[in-house]
Amino acid sequence: MTAPIVQENQPAGVPPLELTGERTLPDVPVENYWYQRHVVVYRWIAEQVAGKRVIDMACGEGYGSDILAAAGAAKVTGVDANPEAHEHARLRYVRPNLSYARELVETYEEPCDAIVFLQTIEHVQEPEQLLERFASILAPGGALYVSTPNVLTLAPKGAERSDNPWHVYEYKPHEFEALCRKVTPNVETFGLWHANKLRVHELAIRHAGWDTVHKRLKFTKPFYDRFIPAISSKDFALRQGDLTTSLDLISVLRP
């Protein structure tokens, strides 16, 4: 049996979480690629919500709520029903403008100017109804930020979807935009792509046969043991463009 992978170097009194694949975690070197892929989106949103009241729905470990609060949101509430994640988050991230609530996202209500719902809509059985509910609790002029992986780049070549057992449905760009536009016609959608060293790595695989080279040289583990922990949020680029090639899809809904 493989030993569980848990967070490293947690502060005293903070229970580490186990990496299960349901949510991404900081402080897990092998998970750093996925963690940084989430961080870059949270930081981009944080710039938009400074001074506002924000709910981070399905906040998981809590790092995203902390990013939003640290960047100047007036008030941030991280909402998650998982008891282990909630306990970890409230102990790990402490700020005057940050709190955590253990509750289902389907039932939580609090006056707010922005709702953040990242990398979770693919887990939801009735996504349209949930997005409509979120929109209904926003203050006038509020915004809903939603992201999801792009199945066109997430799924293996030729497959309809990935093998992630936690995902109910994985969206193509036009499907995700159509879902969001059922809630409001005022939707802007962005994509996330590799940049800097991740872009170089991507090109090396595509054009220089890097996957074959490192296996032939028996250098795979030593290389990736160093490469993955060195990835930062600067190795991703968030922008508009041809969404068919993007890693993730990020929509801003303004009901």
Average pLDDT score over the chain: 94
pLDDT at 234 > cutoff 90: yes
Degrees (nearest 5) of the Cα angle 155, 24, 161?
Answer: 15
pLDDT at 215: 74
Rounded to whole angstroms, the Cα distance separating 28 from 13 reads 18
CATH code for the domain in which residue 151 is found: 3.40.50.150
User: What's the predicted TM-score (pTM) here?
Assistant: 0.95
Torsion of CA 15, 105, 79, 3, to 10 degrees: 20
Q: 248 in helix, strand or coil?
A: strand
15 inside domain = no
Rounded to whole angstroms, the Cα distance separating 235 from 192 reads 10
Question: What sign does the dihedral 11-16-22-27 (CA atoms) show?
Answer: positive
Question: What is the 3-state secondary structure of 23-41?
Answer: CCCCCCHHHHHHHHHHHHH
113 inside domain = yes
Model confidence pLDDT, tens digit, residues 114-156 = 999 999 999 999 999 999 999 999 999 999 999 999 999 998 8
pLDDT at 14: 97
CB 170 within 8 A of CB 122: yes
60 inside domain = yes
212 inside domain = no
pLDDT at 221: 87
More confident site: 43 or 215: 43
18 inside domain = no
Rounded to whole angstroms, the Cα distance separating 32 from 28 reads 6
Above pLDDT 90, what percent of the chain? 84
> Domain tally for the chain?
1
Model confidence pLDDT, tens digit, residues 186-226 = 999 999 999 999 999 988 888 777 777 677 767 788 889 99
In one letter, which amino acid is 134? F
- Residue 157 parent element (H or E): none
199 inside domain = no
> Domain containing 38: what range?
29-194+236-253
Can you name the residues that pair with 57 across neighbouring β-strands?
A: 79
Residue 79 pLDDT level (bands cut at 50, 70, 90): very high
33 inside domain = yes
